[in-house]
Structure 1
Amino acid sequence: MCATATAFAAPPATPFDAQAVLEQQKTIRADIDAGKGAYGKLNPATRQEVRERQDKLSKLLENRRYEDLSQAEQDQARVDMAWIEYAGKTDDDRLVCERVRTVGSNRVERICKTVAQRREEKKSNKDNADRALQNRNLSPCGPEGCS
């Protein structure tokens, strides 16, 4: 029974470079302050929450290495980093997956694209269809020719 419990335990978390995280947070803070990028477009409440989490993360990581953090501090740092990263995601970054059956086959394939990719593909398909309609022969005669 004990052997199966350890088999299902969560894998150890990958260490991160605390100083690289702090540099990344400085870049994000600059985007917020300048009002540019995905973080510059956040609503005021979310922007404030990002700043508060960044301040907390900075206090935790300042002049420390990953190895210096307790397990609880590592977990808290990961939660804050994930929250900040998610806050900067726009709907265009969201990944949407669908199951598509291949033409001429019963095989089902899972295709994942971002919302932006799907929108661009839809626009491209519409443009191609419009172009094909404009370029077709509008002659009243059939394929055999006019009589």
Structure 2
Amino acid sequence: MKRLLPCLLLLWTLGPAWADEPVQAGGAQDDGRDRLQVVLEQQRAIRADLDDGGIDGLSPRQASAIRKAQKEVFAAAEGKQRLDQLSMDDKIRLDNALERIQAELGDSRTARDGQDVCWRERVSGTSMKKTRCGTEAQRREAREGARDYLERPRTCGRNCGGL
């Protein structure tokens, strides 16, 4: 658990903006390591803690969710040495997976709803994609609003509009 606290603090400090702005040229840290390498080392440490019997206070379901998100982290970073080598889609996958891990380690509904997520969506009338970021609660609200709009009746029934 003592090794977990520095990992959580670093995850928290990276935040969603880390994917766009490097600390120095190429995204290197002060000690010469790239942020991607730091994140991967942290994830390996968390994985080792989980393999050694788990982290205090985590249920098996939460540990499984963390392992699944870690697979996403390692898949997004596969074959890459620096953060700037990742495509925008891979950066989004990486950031979302790190946010899921942080939410599971934080273990609360509020933490999950406040978790920052980014998603790509098509701009209406074009083939361009736009990256939108917000909290999980905002994404769920937008999804439910779109679903409600699609489920509304298309034609006017009886007594519609005063006719």
**What TM-score bracket applies, with the shorter chain setting the length?**
0.3 to 0.5
Structure with larger Rg: 1
Q: If the length of structure 2 is used for normalisation, what is the TM-score?
A: 0.42
Q: If the length of structure 1 is used for normalisation, what is the TM-score?
A: 0.47
